[in-house]
Chain A
Amino acid sequence: MHNILANLVSVEWIIYIASFGLILTGLFIVFTDKNLIKIIIGLDMAETGVNILIVAAGYIKGNTAPIFSKASLTPAQMTDPVPQALVLTSIVIGFGVTALALALVVRLYQKTGSLDVSKIRGLKW
């Protein structure tokens, strides 16, 4: 914790504020909102926050993307490629999940005529 408080404006602060803010806002929407589409948007926001956290973890200030496009570039000048590859996978999976969830919501709306979670019957378990 002390190294966060030491320098107020640094990359860590961007990571913490952006990613934690998005994760917590998204989860708050999921917990409190009743509209199904808004819940999906909240899930998407939380996912974006997690992606920012992972990709920012591999970032080093002043370094370039891990692409050897010029012969003069050395590995020491580059950022970490592994988190970026992980986030690439995560974005694609998130896209698929969102599309499927929205399709389910469309079907549910046709069946029940409502997007309100608390009004939809048959969800009791």
Chain B
Amino acid sequence: MRKIVGLLLIFGFGFYLVTIIGPVVFPSSTGEKASVGVEVLKNEVAEVGAANTVTSVVVLYRGFDTLGEVTVLFLAALGLTLLMKGEKHLQAKLFDESFILKTGSYLLFPFMILFGMYIIVHGHLTPGGGFPGGVIIATGYFIIVMTSDVVRLREGLVSFLEGLAGLTFIGLGLVGLFKPADSFLFNFLSKGTFNTLLSAGIIPFIYAAIGIKVGSELTGAVGNMFFSPYGRQKDA
């Protein structure tokens, strides 16, 4: 009975989707982009100077929206920490780590951090940026937490980095208000040489701040799941 009602609802919704989205002509069939995309692609190099147009849209054209996105991620991490802090059964040793697993994770850890940093720093030149890079750094930490109990998380440092990165983002945005442009997140730095590491004004700095914020936030969330306020349980 439940399945039949579910199927009926799905068929209704599917019919709705097809009738609404079916007549929409996608750029993939006509080969012409939406007008916003055309304008962004035409003016982006002169206005912003970032090789990666998606990054310039995310960080500058829709920068305020990204600030909201970072806030949503912060709230999710906060809720996760509040709900999961000091979980008893998670603090127990998950399994007896073998020598190979432990050594492998130690070997992998610095390279994952380095790769995450590379992704963050090159956000305005290649695909990637602060969000994926931060997740890669947090994953590196997660692997080492899962496989060994030697590493302790310095919670104070992580919270400090997170707050500092958030303040850097907002501060860089606020500096734009004092300049002649009078707008939040105005690109007040020089654009530099196109397609180099220090180009596109404030974009690399904002994306680095986002990367540090996401990385430390997720690291803190992972750490809080595995460590009680008094450190990981010794026996268990």
Residues of A within 8 A of B (CB): 1, 3-4, 10-12, 15-16, 20, 23-24, 27-28, 31-32, 53, 56-61, 65-69, 75, 78-85, 88-89, 91-93, 95-97, 99-100, 103-104, 106-107
Instruction: Name the residue on A nearest B129 (C-beta).
Output: A88
Instruction: Name the residue on A nearest B2 (C-beta).
Output: A32
- Per a CB cutoff under 8 Å, which of B9, B22, B29, B54 touches A84? B54
Q: A80-B33, A82-B40 are known contacts. Are A93 and B57 too (CB-CB below 8 A)?
A: no
Complex Cα distance, B54 from A56, in Å, reads 15
B28 and A69 contact, CB distance less than 8 A: no
A69 and B195 contact, CB distance less than 8 A: yes
B27 and A58 contact, CB distance less than 8 A: yes
Which B residues lie within 8 Å of A106 (CB)?
83-84, 87
- Per a CB cutoff under 8 Å, which of B10, B45, B66, B127 touches A89? B66
Cβ contacts A to B, 26 pairs, < 8 Å: A10-B28, A20-B14, A28-B7, A57-B27, A57-B28, A58-B33, A60-B28, A60-B31, A66-B53, A67-B125, A67-B126, A79-B33, A80-B27, A80-B37, A81-B40, A82-B37, A89-B62, A95-B76, A96-B76, A96-B77, A97-B76, A99-B77, A100-B79, A100-B83, A103-B80, A107-B83
- Those of B42-60 within 8 Å (CB) of chain A: 42, 45, 51-54, 57-58
Kindly provide the distance from the CB of A5 to the nearest chain B CB, expressed in whole angstroms. Answer: 10
Number of residue pairs spanning A and B whose beta carbons lie under 8 angstroms apart: 150
Kindly provide the distance from the CB of A44 to the nearest chain B CB, expressed in whole angstroms. Answer: 14
Which A residues lie within 8 Å of B236 (CB)?
none
B127 and A15 contact, CB distance less than 8 A: no
Kindly provide the distance from the CB of B215 to the nearest chain A CB, expressed in whole angstroms. Answer: 13
Max chain A C-beta neighbours (<10 A), residue from B57, B73, B195: B57
B25 interfacial by beta-carbon distance below 8 Å: yes
Complex Cα distance, B30 from A3, in Å, reads 11
Complex Cα distance, B21 from A100, in Å, reads 31
Instruction: Name the residue on A nearest B19 (C-beta).
Output: A1
B54 and A88 contact, CB distance less than 8 A: yes
